[in-house]
Amino acid sequence: MTRLTALNPDQASGKAKELFTAINGKLGMVPNMMRTMGNSPALLGGYLNFSGSLGEGTLGAKLGTLIALTVAEANQCQYCASAHAFIGKNLNGLDDTKIESARTLGKIDAKTDAALLFAHKLVEKRGHVSDSDVNAVLSAGFTQGEVGEIVGHVALNTFTNYFNNTAGTAIDFPKVELLEAAAV
């Protein structure tokens, strides 16, 4: 059930209209999550800035999407699971097996698996990971900066998960069913 209203980009004004115009120019549409965030241009702008900064990091779009899928499942966000499954397949060239593996913590490759397990542990432990959790992701070949970026991706996706779960955002991507029980 939708609890917060998605703004119509054609009827928006001010800063929300500016942001919607930029999003539409980049994506060719304004997804419902962003339309709903547009009720607070400060919120939407913050999301776009954080997402854009992480997009310039060293992890890359594919791993960022895989982390988003892992976090969406852990937080039981059907909107984000649906959006990132679509983005992963259609924009990042991920196959169904990798998308499913990210959602279930299945096997992809040792380095990716370490990142996804670490991301899941961050959600599960609410950031209170152990020395061995951090050492495992470092030992898999990630730099300290990349570990920070993994934390950033988890934080960004937890934010969008919480937002969409609160808003009841209408899913405007092919819907996927959630697979696992919530992490907590």
- State yes or no: pLDDT of 77 exceeds 70: yes
CATH match for 60-167 among 1.20.1560.10, 1.20.1290.10, 1.10.600.10, 3.20.20.140: 1.20.1290.10
- State yes or no: pLDDT of 111 exceeds 70: yes
pLDDT tens for each residue of 143-155: 999 999 999 999 9
Cβ-proximal residues to 75 (8 Å cutoff; 6+ apart), any chain: 123, 157, 158, 161, 162, 165, 182, 183
- Poorest-pLDDT segment among 1-5, 84-88, 144-148, 176-180: 176-180
- In this structure, the dihedral spanned by the alpha carbons of residues 86, 88, 94 and 98, taken in order and rounded to 10 degrees, is -90
pLDDT of the residue at 1: 87
* Dihedral sign, Cα of residue 67, residue 68, residue 69, residue 70: positive
User: What value does the mean pLDDT take over residues 18-37?
Assistant: 97
Q: Are 75 and 158 in contact (CB under 8 A)?
A: yes
User: What value does the mean pLDDT take over residues 72-86?
Assistant: 98
pTM: 0.95
Annotated domain spans of the chain: 9-55, 60-167
User: What value does the mean pLDDT take over residues 56-68?
Assistant: 98
Q: What does pLDDT average to over the chain?
A: 96
Q: Are 168 and 33 in contact (CB under 8 A)?
A: no
User: What value does the mean pLDDT take over residues 10-35?
Assistant: 96
Percentage of the chain lying above the pLDDT 70 cut = 97
pLDDT of the residue at 180: 63
